[in-house]
Chain A
Amino acid sequence: MSIISILFYFLSFLAVGSAIMMLISKNPIHSILWLIVIFFAISGHYVLMNAQFLAIVNIIVYAGAIMVLFLFVVMLMNLNAETEPVKNHRLQLIGVVSGGLLLLVLLSAVMKTKANLPVQMVVGEEGLIQNLGKTLFTYYVVPFELSSILFLSAMVGAVVISKKD
């Protein structure tokens, strides 16, 4: 096994294992921390695919900002394993069925794609920041500009909300 495939399997097991841990842990804080581990594993995958920009942005946005807010809210709500409401069996059944259906859909979608084509490790150049920037500013310039206007307006909105009136 090459060092790349060792890393790949390590990261994959880390991601799947911590996803399972996230689901089964009783404490919501622990769930959030496992979720953060998943993000790190996924960022590791991005690095393996030579998409460094995506990897670091994944960490900045998800692990660095959104998860901090999650943690923030859960800490304030003081959710514990003891205070968790007991759900009735019908609800649980519905949850299992719908989750299973979603899994089925995802599985069939994965099977439909050219699953035997392995993800290109290390050799791809699309994820590097120059190429990404060129693509974004030439081919996808209109959606990019629109979304940037959205973000700017959100930021201006935050400033306006913070203004006392």
Chain B
Amino acid sequence: MQALTHRAKQVNRSPMNFWERLYLPAIFQGMSITLRHFFKRKVTYNFPEQQRSFSPVFRGLHILNRDAEGRENCTACGLCAVACPAEAISMEAAERQPGEEHLYREEKYAARYEINMLRCIFCGLCEEACPKDAIYLSETFAPSDYERKQFIYSKQDLLIPHPINEPEEYKKALGNRAKPEDKS
């Protein structure tokens, strides 16, 4: 029979000789292997005290971005919802009223913006689709919960902290993945 892969290994089916039938050498060999592992350096991280850094391409929870003055970038164009392969994003648009210019950057904004984290597959296509750089995926992952409805994240959950009122939280939430300011 032809081997299916080049890694296939021929098993030796010849009858065992006396030394092999004693089994003791094989047992000692196995025990030496486990003893070697006994003294090996352990690769486990002691999780809460010692955390692994995320890789630069990690895609976690979504964040709705604001610009430097703290105005929401999102203009509720719906491109992210169209791009989403899991259909996790839904939104409702509203028109910006006079006097709200400090809240919303464009004339149109998202009154309601929801992402169902149980549907989301964290592919990052919404981030690529967004023309306004309003949504990107951060370096945290969705925490567990007891109820399904808790996983539908509203706009309040997703919005990044205000850069002027809460600069520290903003910086923390921004992470390393936000695009440089001058591009927007």
Asked if A and B touch directly (CB within 8 angstroms), the answer is no
Binding site for A on B (CB under 8 A): none
